[in-house]
Structure 1
Amino acid sequence: MLAEIITIGDEILIGQIVDTNSAWMAKQLNLIGMKVKQISSVSDDAAHIIEALQQAEKRADVILITGGLGPTKDDITKLTLARYFDMGFRRDEETLQHVTDIFARLNRPMIDLNRKQADVPDRCTVIKNQNGTAPCMWFKEHGKIYVSMPGVPFEMMYLMEEEIIPRLKKAFQLPAIFHKTILTANIGESFLATEIETIEDQLPPHIKLAYLPRLGQVRLRLSGTGTDEKLLHEEVESYAQQIITRISKYVVAEEDIALEKALLDQMKKRKLTLSTAESCTGGYIAHLITQHAGSSAVYMGGGVTYSNELKMSVLGVKAETLTQFGAVSEETVREMAAGAKKHFNTDYAVAVSGIAGPDGGTPEKPVGTVWIAVANRYRVVTRLCVFGNKRAQNIERSAIAALSMILNELRQDED
């Protein structure tokens, strides 16, 4: 069973907003065994919308549409759908009462434009939007199912979870689907593929392996489809365990989570604490860590010690170290990490100092040069990284490399 997602709105195409709806919807559909064939974004233009609908119904059984259901003239989705299906309009009394109640509750006057929210194509099934004034519309036309939803994310999400997904599950006999994700670090995609080649070659046709590389990490995702959910789960898990055993030294999580979340989980389990001392990353490592609920059980705090003065006064870096070796040096990050561990009284500390760019480099230390140190009660380890000349990428790469180093030291200590 195939689905297609169409998002409507000029604001998406000009980059004013990011289309997060489609990714979220695709994930929900995948969970119930419905594959998304294509995702399209089209402008607020009737001809473009109709063309997208015509193409979508050639490819998919279910077409989900978001956006363009507001009360203003630029919101033309409802009119265009009525034209496409050759329908007139009717006023849905339940929707009108719902809109009236919302305006009364807010103590705001209701005008004709608001009342027109209750006008819907006459052959559609109206699904009440509990969180807004624009109703959701379900069409069964041309042998397909079309669903038009508001583009406001929380309105769409509620409708998908409470109304659309249950109706789709009832309308179709969908296959069981199961995903297993393995998060790896400190190994490249091609080397990883070589390591597990023999296992991958043994996979049956209904189980696929995907490589999802990102800076400094690769996710392996096993996806299986079948009719027996329990058997499928056991089968995918069996192949996953073979892969995990083969590449155990690179595995940091056996679920689909972020690298820093894997780090937090491991440290929390072992009752360990962490602090940070950041220069070129400007607090980005701290941001990655603290975006996760419960991070305070592990992360005690840190310092963005951009200047040499703060490196000395906050972290205790020696003036002679900075004079002799410079801020971007192995010697400096060693003292930064040791100072953070001592000052913040943590089990582990990580320090980063580098030249993020685009300027500030020298022939000896070009842009992209980054030193990282991790300190624990046993030792301080360091690593030199040489990245490219793009500032944002250098900051992200530095953070991922730092997190990977901490994970590696955790593994060493465990062994």
Structure 2
Amino acid sequence: MKAAIITIGDEILNGQIVDTNSSWIASQLTALHISIFQVVSIADTPQAIRQGLDQARSGADIILVTGGLGPTKDDVTKSTIASYFQSDIVRDQQVLEHVNTLFSKLGFENMPDINKQQADVLTKATVLFNDVGTAPGMAIEDGGKYYIFLPGVPFEMKYLMENRVLPILANYAKNGFIYNAYLLTVGIGESHLAKSIVDIEERLPSYIKLAYLPRLGSVLLRLTAHGDNEQEIEQLTNNFATEIERRVGADVVARVNDSFEQVIVEQFAAANCSLSTAESCTGGAISNSLTAIAGASTMFYGGAVVYSNAAKIDVLSVDERTLQQFGAVSEQTAVEMATGAQKLYKSDYAVATTGIAGPTGGTKNKPVGMVCIAVAGCREIVVKTLYFKNDRAVNIERTRMAGLTMLWRLFQTEQLR
């Protein structure tokens, strides 16, 4: 059973918004053991929609489409698919009453006539009622294929997928089995990682594929297996994952499909350890990435963003003489920032960053991209100076990930003692 995912919208094609719908839908289908034939983004034009549907049906059994179901003139999906499936359009009274109610709850006495069009549905379609929005979804069976049309607004799409679509698709996904095993790595580049496990990858059978999913500072490895024997597929895939983990060693953080931040929060909480941050050049990026994780309150005590020397002195008790002798961007200052945060927040661990993010502010001795990171632990302190390039956003992100990686390594070392 294969699926195709189509997202409709000029705003996606011109870069105004990022298509997150496709990746989320794909993850839900994979959980149902439905493999993905293709993922495409197309313009909101009749020709593009027709071509997209033709291409999708050539290789997929299930075609999911998001976007283009709004009430404005630039949303032509509904009229196009009515023509494509040779179906009339009718106004669904239940949907119309729902749309009217939503407008009343928002304080509008009269709903614009244009919004009444959102209650228009294809006569050939099964209406997927949208409790949380104005545009209903539609499901159509045609030529042995199953088509699902959903609004592009992410929270509406997710509601309809979880409450209307996935229960239906569960009945379609009966043949074959798909199993995924994951390894999250940090501190090793994609090319070095690939080189270290090249012989293992060459021994993978044809029904097990290895994918490298990189981001700055980390690489997620995904082993995907297809087969009929669920137990056999799981065991063999996990055996290969174990072999890779042994080969890569300490660079493997966990065998999960989670973010590095999620793993840190969970492991600190499980060990009953606390953390604080002291950030200059990263401007709170480290603390923000951790507190975005549910459950961070069990392990994160607080963070200080100290851009100026005065703030470093007043908030974190950095010695003024240290700043005068070594400068704000120095390992000595980074260490005092980390120990200052550790004392201020009474945390077990603290990570500190100071540097020149750019694109200006560098000198011959301290160029743009130079950063100093310190981590204070329960028993020792580690500090490192790194040199990045002159892209501010990239420098901040690299520093954030480097700080978390140093924190993780020290945490692991101390927990194993």
* TM-score, reference length from structure 2: 0.92
**SS of residue paired to 2:170:** helix
Residue aligning to 1:330: 331
- Correspondence list, 1:14-413, <5 A: 14-99=14-99, 102=102, 108-110=109-111, 112-413=113-414
Q: Distance in 2 between matches of 1:268 and 1:120?
A: 50
Q: Distance in 2 between matches of 1:115 and 1:45?
A: 22
Q: Deviations 1:211-234 (Å, cap 9, x if unpaired)?
A: 222222221111112223233222
Q: Distance in 2 between matches of 1:97 and 1:348?
A: 56
**SS of residue paired to 1:90:** strand
Per the TM alignment, residue 318 of structure 1 is displaced from its structure 2 partner at its CA by 1.7
The answer on whether the counterparts of 1:352 and 1:402 sit within 8 Å (CA) in structure 2 is yes
Q: Distance in 1 between matches of 2:345 and 2:102?
A: 51
Per the TM alignment, residue 102 of structure 1 is displaced from its structure 2 partner at its CA by 4.8
Change over 3 Å in CA distance of 1:381–1:58 after alignment to 2: same
Per the TM alignment, residue 112 of structure 1 is displaced from its structure 2 partner at its CA by 4.6
Q: Distance in 2 between matches of 1:371 and 1:338?
A: 14
- Report the more deviating stretch, 290-299 or 124-133: 124-133
**SS of residue paired to 2:288:** helix
Q: Distance in 1 between matches of 2:298 and 2:385?
A: 30
The aligned amino acid for 1:52 is: G
Q: Deviations 1:292-334 (Å, cap 9, x if unpaired)?
A: 1121221111211111111112222222211121111111112
The answer on whether the counterparts of 1:32 and 1:174 sit within 8 Å (CA) in structure 2 is no
Gaps of 5+ in 1: none
Per the TM alignment, residue 113 of structure 1 is displaced from its structure 2 partner at its CA by 3.7
Change over 3 Å in CA distance of 1:213–1:19 after alignment to 2: closer
**SS of residue paired to 1:373:** strand
- Report the more deviating stretch, 392-401 or 59-68: 59-68
**SS of residue paired to 2:131:** coil
The aligned amino acid for 1:319 is: E
**SS of residue paired to 2:222:** strand
Give the number of aligned pairs. 415
Per the TM alignment, residue 277 of structure 1 is displaced from its structure 2 partner at its CA by 0.9
The answer on whether the counterparts of 2:2 and 2:60 sit within 8 Å (CA) in structure 1 is yes
Per the TM alignment, residue 405 of structure 1 is displaced from its structure 2 partner at its CA by 0.4
Percentage of pairs with the same residue: 48
Q: Deviations 1:51-75 (Å, cap 9, x if unpaired)?
A: 2222322232222111222233332
Change over 3 Å in CA distance of 1:116–1:391 after alignment to 2: closer
Q: Distance in 2 between matches of 1:298 and 1:292?
A: 11
The aligned amino acid for 2:135 is: A
The aligned amino acid for 1:240 is: A
Per the TM alignment, residue 397 of structure 1 is displaced from its structure 2 partner at its CA by 0.4
The answer on whether the counterparts of 2:349 and 2:378 sit within 8 Å (CA) in structure 1 is yes
Per the TM alignment, residue 288 of structure 1 is displaced from its structure 2 partner at its CA by 0.8
Change over 3 Å in CA distance of 1:71–1:238 after alignment to 2: same
**SS of residue paired to 1:170:** coil
* TM-score, reference length from structure 1: 0.93
The answer on whether the counterparts of 2:356 and 2:369 sit within 8 Å (CA) in structure 1 is yes
